[in-house]
């Protein structure tokens, strides 16, 4: 199975229902922009074709990556302080079942957990959205343009309804 589709599967429930990310944004309207960015990152993760992956050198830490968002969220030293703050805050959220995924050491599980996993805990999803919004400021221009185009398309679609 395509690795990106597996990550998305870890972020979503099998049951067809409104996304927990959108439900959280609905209950917490001040988070809509950040959660929207997070949804776009999940969508971009599934959009990329495994055959399109190219390895690039990270300008921040010097390591090689094939998925910049995953690299920045999970392993880049540039975001280490932000990840550590996230982990500390995540551990303090009562009933946060994703802490084990965060501590697993498995990059795919950590990535899924940092994208909100399938958590129904608003506090955790908002915390993840804050981290993702920090990371987006550091991603490759082409990835940013992809996210901007997706946002514009969805905004145009909503305004035409």
Please tell me the pTM assigned to this model: 0.71
Q: Say how far apart CA 109 and CA 128 lie, in whole Å.
A: 14
The number of residues making up the chain comes to: 161
DSSP 3-state of 100:
helix
Nearest Cα residue to 101 out of 86, 122, 79: 86
Asked whether residue 97 carries a pLDDT value surpassing 60, the answer given is yes
Asked whether residue 25 carries a pLDDT value surpassing 50, the answer given is yes
State the DSSP H helix or E strand holding residue 64, giving kind and residue range, or none if neither. Answer: strand 64-65
Going from the C-alpha of 13 to that of each of 10, 105, 116, 141, the distances in angstroms are 8, 22, 12, 31
46-102-148 Cα angle (round to 5)? 35
- Please report which confidence band the pLDDT of residue 1 belongs to, taking 50, 70 and 90 as the band edges: very low
Say which residue the tokens 């398309």 belong to.
153
Q: What is the pLDDT of residues 108-151, one digit of tens each?
A: 888 888 888 778 889 999 999 999 888 888 776 565 555 556 55
Say which residue the tokens 């992956």 belong to.
53
Q: Say how far apart CA 41 and CA 117 lie, in whole Å.
A: 13
Asked whether residue 29 carries a pLDDT value surpassing 60, the answer given is yes
Q: What is the pLDDT of residues 38-78, one digit of tens each?
A: 887 776 665 555 555 678 888 889 998 888 888 888 999 99
């Amino acid at each position: 199975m395509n690795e990106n589709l597996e990550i998305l599967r870890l972020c979503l429930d099998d049951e067809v229902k409104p996304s927990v990310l959108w439900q959280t944004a609905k209950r917490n309207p001040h988070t809509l922009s950040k959660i929207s960015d997070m949804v776009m990152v999940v969508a971009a993760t599934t959009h990329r074709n495994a055959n399109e992956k190219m390895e690039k050198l990270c300008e921040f830490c010097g390591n090689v990556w094939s998925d910049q968002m995953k690299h920045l969220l999970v392993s880049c030293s540039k975001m280490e302080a932000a990840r550590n703050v996230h982990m500390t805050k995540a551990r303090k959220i009562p009933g946060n079942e994703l802490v084990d995924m965060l501590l697993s050491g498995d990059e795919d599980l950590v990535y899924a957990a940092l994208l909100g996993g399938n958590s129904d805990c608003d506090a955790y999803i908002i915390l993840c959205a804050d981290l993702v919004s920090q990371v987006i400021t550091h991603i490759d221009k082409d990835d940013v343009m992809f996210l901007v185009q997706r946002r514009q398309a969805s905004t145009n679609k909503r305004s035409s309804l």
